[in-house]
Amino acid sequence: MTIIEAPDQGEPDVVVHGVLDTSHSGPTRLVRAAVYGAVGLIALLALGLTVGAGQARLGIGSGSDAHVLALSGKVVVLTLGAVILALAGYQAWQGFGRRATPYVAGVVALLFLVAFLAWVSLHGIKATVDVQGLLQNAIGLSVPLVLGAMAGVMCERSGVINVAIEGQMLAGAWAAAFVGTLAGSWFGLVGGVAAGAVMGLLLALFAIKFMVNQVVLGVVLNVLAAGLTGFFFDAFMANDATRYNQPDLLREWDVPGLSHIPFLGPLLFSANAVVYLTYVVIIAVDVILFRTRWGLRTRAVGEHPRAADTVGIRVLALRYRNVLVGSAIAGLGGAYFTIGSVGAFSKNITSGNGFIALAAVIFGRWSPRGATAAALLFGFASALNTRLSILLPSAPTDLLAMLPYVATIVAVAGLVGKVRAPGADGEPYVKQ
Amino acid sequence: MRLRTSRQTWDSLLITVLAFITALVISAILIAIADDRTRSAAGYFFQYPQDTFTYAGQAIGNTYRALFEGAIFNPRTAGNGTAGTLGPISETLTYATPLIAGGLGVGLAFRAGLFNIGGQGQILAAAICAGYVGFHWHLPVVLHLVVAIVAGILGGALWGGITGWLKARTGAHEVITTIMLNYVALNLLNYLLKVKGFQNSASGQAISFPVDHNAQLPLLLGSGLRVHLGIVLSVLAAVFFWWLMKYSRLGFRLRAVGANPLAAKTAGMNVERSYLAVMLLSGAFFGLAGVSQILGTNDALTNDVDAGVGFDAITVALLGRANPVGTVVAGLLFGALHAGSANMQQYTPIDLVQVVQGLIVLFIAAPAAIRAIFRIKARGASTGAELAKGWNG
Amino acid sequence: MRLELRGITKRFGSLTANDHIDLVVEPGEIHALLGENGAGKSTLMNVLYGLYQPDEGEILLDGEPVTFAGPGDAMAAGIGMVHQHFMLIPVFTVAENIELGHERVRGGLLGFLDRRRARAAVEEVSQRYGLHVPVDALVQDLPVGVQQRVEILKALVRDARVLILDEPSAVLTPQETDDLMEIMRALKEAGTAIVFITHKLREVRAVADKITVIRRGRVVGTATPDASTNELASLMVGRPVQLNIAKDPADPGDEVLAAEDVRVVDEVGTVVVDQVSFAVRAGEIYALAGVQGNGQTELTEALVGLQPVQSGTVTIEGTDVTRATTDDILGMGVGYVPEDRLEDGLVSSFTVAENLVLDLYDQPPYAGRLNLDLGVIRTNAEQRVEEFDVRTSSVDHAASTLSGGNQQKVVLARELSRPLKLFIVAQPTRGLDVGSMEFVHARIVQERDNGAAVVLVSSELDEVMGLADRIGVMYRGKIIGEVPAGTSAEEIGMLMAGTLPGTEAAS
């Protein structure tokens, strides 16, 4: 304890003149251009030169709306490759602005994927690539990732690192199955959310009150969640599944009107409650963080808690609230594994999804939109991989499965722009 | 100073003991809940409360006794030759081997201010390298083993080194990169286990060829017992850790960088190179854990050859407070828990062990929680927040 | 609003930071709270602002006793504070920072922010007091002086009737300080009571109505602004103060350090050191003066290889060290005392003995090829502790257990424990009490007299004028003027504000 204030991050360091905008010029711009260029060249050369003759067939729509887009494979692949190269050229020459960059990157990825799927349809076991089914799977796989990522964003924006997303989801999955079997799946949903929140309470208590290193804590809570759910699985569910582990699935429900939109309708608006809640959560987290008092204070507490304290914000209470809300969202994500898709609980059913969600938080730079996009990307990559292992049995799907992880490493290594966590993320706050 | 130190040691010992007691009490409650007889007796608790307590007591007693007998000494099998007498100890040592090596790896990184959660990936990388040398090369006795061990340690060091290199070059946070590299290694191994020359073609499973006998770590207590030379290597590794941290120039530098990288840099130390060195060494310790898994405990590669050691090692390092003696003791203790769990399974679900382990470490990491539970006054200003730092730090 | 503190006592363990302090501040009065570093001024204000709870005593507002559980209560009661380290969120806009904590919302369960009204309120208050700020700019992009205005606005928007300014001029240029004093006078006219915490005598005399002097947690006297500087200084320190530092004239030898057109760019691309050239000879003290944040830190770091030099050259005794590592530079006989000793100078969890070899641990006699010689390290530590009078009961204690002055002595002892050609020392007395200050000054002069070239970085004008043989003044990354010892404070002050003698203010 000392009365000389320790020099802290608030130490101002000025001299503001001649600031360069690094995003628009110099190495970053050219690195991006090189990445786009490489993608374009792969599309043109690796795919374009090898693509077989004939029509590429992509299936969209389902049921009575099913259609097949058929076009010459060579034309599709070469055209898309050329467009990507054109984008790369513009990037190298002028550079896209800061705002446009994520969209351009998205478009490049999308064009490449279409080219790739066209190629697959001419070389795979089946002549038609079922794009609709692929996207359907992608959404299914993305739902828990998105929810997990939103859980991470809520916690970390207030300054508490959440490495325990995995454990929160696992607890949610278990409780949803257990309660769902005993009392029906709606109660199961509530149980899952509550179980996530209970795990969150542990995280909050030990991180905020007892000031345990939050990464250590997250790891330990994951061990604990795996142990507890495994223990109770063996103690109850394994012996008597009908009584304890046979929840009804949440029923799918078509949104009147919207579900009839061709292509998108069946994809987005014919689903169960967890999926709809996911939409709500994404919008809610974004709105809360950036448009409400709660969000302003959350971000303040995550960046500079002492400053927030000096204007009368109750730092610790706010962190508790955010961690609880966040982990409840993770619990909802966990519930999706059981009552939202598979039904019964099995040990370690979340199989690392919590860690991928954490990667999505970081990949998405701690922003709700970015994290959602990253989670969708990871979900899609995983769905694509599953599909490929069927269509192209010779494809090295295990190597492709590495891509989301490698992408995250590339992102944190700053090769595609600097990633910055909230200023006080992971630092316990001690009132003087 | 002497007085202070011994008081602090006493304090942390007390916290450790109380953390154990707390964890065992909570686990006992779980055992009672999971016990069918106790549960049904609880249904008529208000008529015959003693039934509930009797059954719960039996369940708890049986479980902990079985755990002990599976891990340390079983009086009922003690007569049946070496296997019966030393069997439990042999199992404990076998499980402890990679835990100690891995715990040292995590502990070393801790001391240098880094958090290595990449044990899984580093063990898998080591196992791939050691395994490949073990089944693909055919070398004379001793030489084959030595080459395979070195290959494994290098593999682990390399995988850890990627994280260190990324941190040094770009500042990428090691927690994130190590988690990601775990999955990369797992997928790499999955891939290799389907590749010709790696996959045991006869089996049709995702399993590699078996390691040559020449490249296997020799068993210490004869063929009936699993304990192998790996435990000796792990203890030697702990001795090396002790020398490194206390008496070596490198250790001084790593500790300085861990405690205050800015001051270390100002004093002319190369912080970036230190990060690389730490992660290479930390990965090398995990490499040893991988070696003992593939050349000792198992003899062929599968995708679960790491046996969860990567994460368990973190708990070992925390319990052992990142010092060599503590890590060896913690490794033996958690090894014993794993060894006893199989025998315990007749009374309560096997995952109890993981719960116990998680609870112990949770409370060890939060001395303030233990103080709150047992109403012990804090001595000095130790809040447990020394390790706390964020993504940016 | 009339503020009264009665018998405020605050203890931290065995240390009594405030000992029965009484203080009355009338409305429309600027009341200076004067004291050395560590005298307990900031603690007192943190008590008043609800950040600390007093152990004894009470706070009265207009005669009514009040208690503050937190800053929220203090603000509600009309007390505002501008902290020494600004309490601003760098990634928020000015409006968001001002709004934070009492946001205007459009209602609804979640409380949607009403940014339009918030902006309007900020603009209204900033008009009223003539405090102009760019409402939509991010705080991290603003100069310190403007950030401080944002801090003041934060208090005013909340209708503060008592405004506490904690060492407000520490980071300002003299020009900005003058502006600040204008603002203080304007607020005073409007009836605001101002508590002005400082250790700078000049400012106190310029602006205060009443002065209370605090030493070691106690009120040791009150004074009026017409008291002489010497009177105030001796009240503050508790004994007659020798404001001048005793030293002989310099006897410069050969050129040791030469910097030519050195340019340093920080990681976000800002030019922090701009074409700086200067040379220092053996046996002289060259001071780099300037307001904090004008590139001195970066320049010294560049000299010892801690910051990459983008262009230009640095030579030491003719050897080009522009691209050399810190290790190599220190190895050439360069001693370096960084400005932030806790952050950069010491590993606070290491023992005193370990800290005393922090940059020598890998050289004989302290180490062999791989191993350390713990015995030699210990003997060395005992000698240094003796020689530099470091107050510690054992060299095995962690450095964090020492006082600020003793920590600085450890750093000095380490750097001066080998023969030096060049000694670079930054802010050597920041946060030290007067006793330690005198010791440090004497050692610096002694090192000069031993024939080392000394580079002194200091933002304390008195220290610069007392120690330096030549003075280079830095402003916005450049050395805008080089003057000999004995130059008047006014002239140096003008340079620090970027004004060249005989010209209008530089752009």
Q: What is the pLDDT of residues B195-212, one digit of tens each?
A: 888 888 888 888 999 999
Residue pointed to by tokens 């938080």: A361
Distances in Å between the alpha carbon of C374 and those of A11, B384, C211?
Answer: 37, 29, 53
Residue A316 touches partner B, C-beta closer than 8 Å: no
> For C431, which of A4, A20, A22 is closest by C-beta distance?
A4
Is the pLDDT at B246 greater than 60? The verdict is: yes
Restricting to A residues 389-418, those with a Cβ less than 8 Å away from any Cβ of B are: 396, 398-399, 401-402, 405-406, 408-409, 412-415
The answer to whether B121 and B308 have CB atoms below 8 angstroms apart is no
Q: What angle do CA B195, B199, B202 make, to 5 degrees?
A: 130
Tally: H helices and E strands in chain B: 15, 0
Is the pLDDT at A19 greater than 60? The verdict is: no
CA distance B370 to B26: 13
Average pLDDT of every residue of chain B = 90
Whether residue A242 lies inside any domain: the answer is yes
What is the token pair recorded at C253?
A: 């030898």
Of A280-289, A375-384, C179-188, C491-500, least confident by mean pLDDT is C491-500
The pLDDT of residue A417 is 52
Q: What is the pLDDT of residues B95-119, one digit of tens each?
A: 999 999 999 999 999 999 999 999 9
Chain C residues with beta carbon closer than 8 angstroms to that of A312: 70-73, 75-76, 101-102
Dihedral of CA atoms C385, C387, C389, C391 in degrees, nearest 10, equals 10
Is the pLDDT at A121 greater than 90? The verdict is: no
Whether residue B85 lies inside any domain: the answer is no
Q: Please tell me what DSSP assigns to residue C505.
A: B
Residue of C nearest to B2 (CA): C396
Average pLDDT (A256-278) is: 89
Residue pointed to by tokens 């990369």: B184
Distances in Å between the alpha carbon of B386 and those of A216, B260, B365, B390, C397?
Answer: 12, 12, 11, 12, 17
Q: What are phi and psi of C262, to 5 degrees?
A: -75, 130
Q: Which of A123, A146, A164 is the last residue in one of the domains?
A: A123
Q: How many residues does chain B have?
A: 393
Average pLDDT (C53-78) is: 90
Residue B351 touches partner A, C-beta closer than 8 Å: yes
* Identity of the amino acid at C496: M
Average pLDDT of every residue of chain C = 88
Residue of higher predicted confidence among A415 and A152? A152
The pLDDT of residue B268 is 93
Whether residue B193 lies inside any domain: the answer is yes
Q: Are residues A137 and A111 in the same domain?
A: no
Q: How confident is the model at residue B5 (pLDDT cuts 50, 70, 90)?
A: low
Bond into B349 cis (ω within 30): no
Whether residue B81 lies inside any domain: the answer is no
Average pLDDT of every residue of chain A = 87
Q: Are residues B284 and B210 in the same domain?
A: yes
Is the pLDDT at C130 greater than 60? The verdict is: yes
Residue B268 touches partner C, C-beta closer than 8 Å: yes
What is the token pair recorded at B296?
A: 């000792």
CA distance C208 to C228: 14
How close is the nearest chain A Cα to the Cα of C386, in Å?
Answer: 26
Whether residue B79 lies inside any domain: the answer is no
Cα–Cα nearest to A231, from C385, B239, B35: B35
Whether residue A421 lies inside any domain: the answer is no
Whether residue B179 lies inside any domain: the answer is yes
CA distance A423 to C98: 19
Residue A93 touches partner B, C-beta closer than 8 Å: no
Q: What percent of chain C has pLDDT over 90?
A: 47
Cα–Cα nearest to A212, from B257, B19, B100: B19
Q: What is the pLDDT of residues B299-310, one digit of tens each?
A: 899 999 999 999
Chain C residues with beta carbon closer than 8 angstroms to that of A16: 141-143, 270
C367–B270 CB contact, under 8 Å? no
Chain B residues with beta carbon closer than 8 angstroms to that of C350: 255-256, 259
Whether residue A246 lies inside any domain: the answer is yes
Of A98-107, B247-256, B342-351, C271-280, least confident by mean pLDDT is A98-107
The pLDDT of residue C240 is 66
Interface of C with B (CB under 8 A): 304, 306, 325-331, 336, 338, 343-350, 354, 358-359, 361-362, 367, 370-372, 374, 393-394, 396-397
Of A126-130, A278-282, C267-271, C389-393, least confident by mean pLDDT is C267-271
Pair type for strands C311-316 and C255-265: antiparallel
Average pLDDT (B269-293) is: 97
The pLDDT of residue A264 is 85
Q: Are residues B304 and B361 in the same domain?
A: no
Chain B residues with beta carbon closer than 8 angstroms to that of A359: 176, 179-180
Q: How confident is the model at residue B378 (pLDDT cuts 50, 70, 90)?
A: low
The pLDDT of residue A426 is 84
Average pLDDT (C293-317) is: 92
Whether residue A112 lies inside any domain: the answer is yes
Whether residue A424 lies inside any domain: the answer is no
Q: Please tell me what DSSP assigns to residue C341.
A: I
Whether residue A330 lies inside any domain: the answer is yes
Average pLDDT (A276-297) is: 96
What is the token pair recorded at C46?
A: 């943190």
Whether residue A429 lies inside any domain: the answer is no
Residue of higher predicted confidence among C476 and C335? C335
Q: Are residues B259 and B389 in the same domain?
A: no
CA distance C418 to C385: 15
Restricting to A residues 208-267, those with a Cβ less than 8 Å away from any Cβ of B are: 209-217, 219-224, 226-236
Q: Are residues B355 and B343 in the same domain?
A: no
Using DSSP's 3-state secondary structure scheme, residue C84 falls into: coil
Pair type for strands A55-60 and A67-72: antiparallel
Residues 6+ apart with CB under 8 A from B109: B115, B116, B174, B278, B279, B282
For residue B184, give the CATH number of its domain. Answer: 1.10.3470
Q: Are residues A80 and A173 in the same domain?
A: no
Q: Are residues A117 and A139 in the same domain?
A: no
* Identity of the amino acid at A85: L
Average pLDDT (C164-186) is: 83
How close is the nearest chain A Cα to the Cα of B6, in Å?
Answer: 23
Cα–Cα nearest to B121, from B55, B176, B169: B176
* Chains in touch with B (≥3 Cβ pairs < 8 A): A, C
What is the token pair recorded at A388?
A: 């490929």
Q: How confident is the model at residue A260 (pLDDT cuts 50, 70, 90)?
A: confident
Chain A residues with beta carbon closer than 8 angstroms to that of B175: 163, 215
Residue of A nearest to C69 (CA): A312
What is the token pair recorded at A298?
A: 């959350």
The pLDDT of residue C90 is 92
CA distance B362 to A167: 14
Chain B residues with beta carbon closer than 8 angstroms to that of C371: 247-249
- Helices A293-303 and A315-337, interaxial angle, to 10°? 100
Cα–Cα nearest to B116, from B190, B187, B185, B182: B182
Is the pLDDT at C313 greater than 90? The verdict is: yes
Whether residue B59 lies inside any domain: the answer is yes
How close is the nearest chain A Cα to the Cα of B375, in Å?
Answer: 14
The pLDDT of residue A17 is 29
Q: How confident is the model at residue A295 (pLDDT cuts 50, 70, 90)?
A: very high
The pLDDT of residue C60 is 93
Q: Are residues A143 and A70 in the same domain?
A: no
Residue A303 touches partner C, C-beta closer than 8 Å: yes
Residue B240 touches partner A, C-beta closer than 8 Å: no
Q: Are residues A317 and A337 in the same domain?
A: yes
Restricting to C residues 398-457, those with a Cβ less than 8 Å away from any Cβ of A are: 404, 431
Q: Are residues A148 and A38 in the same domain?
A: no
Whether residue A114 lies inside any domain: the answer is yes
The pLDDT of residue C241 is 62
Residues 6+ apart with CB under 8 A from B73: B85, B88, B89
Range of the domain at B258: 95-347
Q: Are residues B333 and B238 in the same domain?
A: yes
Q: How confident is the model at residue B137 (pLDDT cuts 50, 70, 90)?
A: very high
Whether residue B77 lies inside any domain: the answer is no
Using DSSP's 3-state secondary structure scheme, residue B369 falls into: helix
Q: What angle do CA A378, A248, B351 make, to 5 degrees?
A: 70
Q: How confident is the model at residue A16 (pLDDT cuts 50, 70, 90)?
A: very low
CA distance C157 to C155: 6
Q: Which of A123, A148, A164 is the last residue in one of the domains?
A: A123
Is the pLDDT at C142 greater than 80? The verdict is: yes
Residue of C nearest to A310 (CA): C71
Q: How confident is the model at residue B382 (pLDDT cuts 50, 70, 90)?
A: very low
Q: What is the pLDDT of residues B256-268, one digit of tens each?
A: 999 999 999 999 9
Q: Are residues B40 and B115 in the same domain?
A: no
Q: Which of A64, A93, A123 is the last residue in one of the domains?
A: A123
Q: Are residues B223 and B334 in the same domain?
A: yes
Using DSSP's 3-state secondary structure scheme, residue C500 falls into: coil
Q: Are residues A292 and A335 in the same domain?
A: yes
Q: What angle do CA A127, A130, A136 make, to 5 degrees?
A: 165
Q: Are residues B307 and B165 in the same domain?
A: yes
The answer to whether C384 and C413 have CB atoms below 8 angstroms apart is yes
Residue A280 touches partner C, C-beta closer than 8 Å: no
Residue of higher predicted confidence among B172 and B254? B254
Average pLDDT (B286-296) is: 97
Q: Are residues A392 and A269 in the same domain?
A: yes
A227–B318 CB contact, under 8 Å? no
Q: Are residues A215 and A315 in the same domain?
A: yes
A212–B388 CB contact, under 8 Å? yes
Q: Are residues B31 and B180 in the same domain?
A: no
Range of the domain at A72: 3-123
Q: What percent of chain C has pLDDT over 70?
A: 97
Average pLDDT (A348-361) is: 92
Chain A residues with beta carbon closer than 8 angstroms to that of C112: 291-293
The pLDDT of residue B60 is 95
Restricting to A residues 351-390, those with a Cβ less than 8 Å away from any Cβ of B are: 352, 355, 358-359, 362
A309–C85 CB contact, under 8 Å? no
The pLDDT of residue B6 is 63
**Complete edge-to-edge strand list for the sheet that includes strand C285-289:** C334-337, C422-426, C453-458, C285-289, C470-475, C478-484
Q: Are residues B35 and B124 in the same domain?
A: no
Q: Are residues B165 and B226 in the same domain?
A: yes
> For C338, which of B255, B266, B270 is closest by C-beta distance?
B266
CA distance C381 to C374: 11
Torsional sign, CA C76, C96, C83, C53: positive
Q: What percent of chain B has pLDDT over 90?
A: 75
Residues 6+ apart with CB under 8 A from C464: C287, C289, C456, C458, C471, C492
Domain count, chain A: 2
> For B354, which of A211, A230, A359 is closest by C-beta distance?
A230
Q: Are residues B213 and B241 in the same domain?
A: yes
The pLDDT of residue A23 is 40
The answer to whether C49 and C23 have CB atoms below 8 angstroms apart is no
Q: Quote ipTM for the complex.
A: 0.90
Q: Are residues A358 and A381 in the same domain?
A: yes
Q: Are residues A251 and A314 in the same domain?
A: yes
Q: Distance from CA of residue C172 to its chain's centroid?
A: 11
Whether residue B312 lies inside any domain: the answer is yes
CA distance C185 to C148: 16
Half-sphere exposure (Cβ direction) of C241: Cα atoms closer than 13 Å: 20
* Identity of the amino acid at B47: Q
CA distance A209 to A248: 39
Restricting to C residues 102-161, those with a Cβ less than 8 Å away from any Cβ of A are: 102-103, 105, 110-113, 141-144, 147, 154
Average pLDDT (B233-240) is: 98
Q: Are residues A152 and A62 in the same domain?
A: no
CA distance C88 to A208: 22
> Which DSSP string corresponds to A9-26?
TT-----------TTTSH
What's the predicted TM-score (pTM) here? 0.88
The pLDDT of residue C14 is 73
The pLDDT of residue C501 is 66
Residue A2 touches partner C, C-beta closer than 8 Å: yes
Residues 6+ apart with CB under 8 A from A264: none
Residue of C nearest to A9 (CA): C85
The pLDDT of residue B390 is 58
For residue A384, give the CATH number of its domain. Answer: 1.10.3470
Domain count, chain B: 2
> Which DSSP string corresponds to C399-442?
GGGS-HHHHHHHHHHHHTTS--SEEEEESTTTT--HHHHHHHHH
Q: What is the pLDDT of residues C452-477, one digit of tens each?
A: 999 999 887 888 888 999 999 998 88
Average pLDDT (A186-215) is: 95
Average pLDDT (A424-429) is: 86
The pLDDT of residue B2 is 41
Is the pLDDT at A429 greater than 90? The verdict is: no
User: Cβ–Cβ contacts within 10 Å for residue B100, how many?
Assistant: 35
